[in-house]
Amino acid sequence: MELPNEGGEGSSQKKMGRGKIEIKRIENTTNRQVTFCKRRNGLLKKAYELSVLCDAEVALVVFSTRGRLYEYANNSVRATIERYKKACAASTNAESVSEANTQFYQQESSKLRRQIRDIQNLNRHILGEALGSLSLKELKNLEGRLEKGLSRVRSRKEIELQNHNNYLRAKIAEHERAQQQQHNLMPDQTMCDQSLPSSQAYDRNFFPVNLLGSDQQQYSRQDQTALQLV
């Protein structure tokens, strides 16, 4: 759109070419007011077209040099400004949170690296390696740590041995109880074996057949003799 009357007429317009003006403050008050009105209306028109064509939420606020307010919004200027504030706050918070997380993880990483390095050095010292860099005080501290560690190892070993011995005693006692119960389940058979008579023993009311037979023969002979005397 050509604006031949904007910015005044003169050598500056001829130097910039037809339809173009130099982008700087218009010194002439009248020309500045005319340019403001034309450009303002064009800006409002473009804002409306953008909101309709692209289904965008647009809010436009313009203050003139005299302090007059000109605005356009397809929704609400206040609502759009509140949305803008929330978006800016969320963006700022996200950036600050991301930066804080980055610093935190960097510090934690440095701390973990130091801890790993200290643990590796301590393990070498416990194995008797790299002791040349230790002072007398550090050597005494290392000796105390080793003595405490050995004491804990011995105590743990004694406890494990005691638990193992108790386990073995319990198993032995359980085995003996099982044998005793098995022995108590067969008392009748043992008593029967003990109550049986020997081959030579006999009951008081029992007489051998051969003895009875000899007596009967003796008695029969006496009877025969007596009969003969008569």
Q: Read off the pLDDT of residues 112-131 as tens digits, 9 standing for 90 and up.
A: 999 999 899 888 888 888 88
Q: Let me know if residue 221 belongs to a domain.
A: no
Q: Say whether both 122 and 61 belong to one domain.
A: no
Q: What single letter denotes the amino acid at residue 57?
A: E
Region of residue 107 (phi > 0: left; psi between -120 and 50: alpha; otherwise: beta) = alpha
Mean per-residue pLDDT over the chain, rounded: 77
What six digits make up the tokens of 205?
């009311």
Report residue 220 CA to chain centroid gap: 114
Please give the C-alpha separations between residue 189 and each of 115, 179, 182, 183, 194, in angstroms, as whole numbers: 77, 17, 13, 11, 9
Q: Let me know if residue 186 belongs to a domain.
A: no
The three-class DSSP label of residue 22 is: coil
β-pairing verdict for 59-63 and 69-73 = antiparallel
Query: What are the tens digits of pLDDT across the range 161-196?
Result: 999 999 999 999 999 988 888 888 865 555 555 554
- Find the domain containing 158 and state its range: 135-181
| pLDDT band of 206, cuts 50, 70, 90 | very low
Q: Say whether both 154 and 169 belong to one domain.
A: yes
Q: Let me know if residue 227 belongs to a domain.
A: no
Number of domains forming the structure of the chain: 3
Q: Say whether both 158 and 109 belong to one domain.
A: no
Query: Where is the domain boundary, 98, 115, 133?
Result: 133
What six digits make up the tokens of 221?
């002979």
